[in-house]
Amino acid sequence: MPDSHPRLILASSSRYRRELLARLRLPFAAVSPDIDETPVPGEAPADLALRLSVSKALAIAQRHPGCIVIGSDQVATADGRPIGKPGDFARAQAQLRELAGRTVEFHSALAVTDGQRVEKADVVTQCRFRPLSDAAIAAYLRAEEPYDTAGSAKAESLGIALMEYIRSDDPTAIIGLPLIALTGMLATFGLDPLAAGTP
């Protein structure tokens, strides 16, 4: 990798994760890891999220030696059952009808590696959905079209109106990249957003 490139790489094509990482004001590149994300038979959702975050980070680290790479993955569950991205209005409508009045757990897994050492964490967020009428669900889906989001709700915007509560140690975890845990991990690799000279 040329020296002109940032030594920090986000192993993701997600615009949400790019926007979150930009908050730390560290120069970085974003590279899609392009890995197989198929769950292993019997794999618990939390284990899946952690495995994929590590796999993403290591895949990019192998292609870019000398860089520090961040991998992240998020799996949503209700009663231990994974909840996927709906993809369209009808599936999102069915998903929100099912989740109304229930608690969803989001496992936001994180891995940071320099190609030698790997630091990882799973930051859990609990989201309790309000009881929702069909009219409220339809109005929300038309307004936000959250079809690329597990659980069919974007808590960082209008989706917050669907929630009874959100509980987590890190308010950014629900969006897909837990910045509190990440900041601590990056510091162990010598990258501190508050260090002198940070732009």
Task: Please give the positions annotated as active site.
Answer: 73
Strand partners, 36: none
Token pair recorded at residue 111: 């891995």
DSSP code of residue 64: S
Tell me the pairing of strands 68-78 and 8-10: parallel
Burial of 5-29, coded b for 16+ CB within 10 Å and e otherwise, reads: eebbbbbbebebbeebbeebebebb
Nearest 10 degrees: CA dihedral of 99, 162, 180, 67? Answer: 70
Residue 96 C-alpha from the chain's centroid: 20
Three-class SS of residue 56? helix
Distance separating alpha carbons of residues 140 and 194, to the nearest angstrom = 38
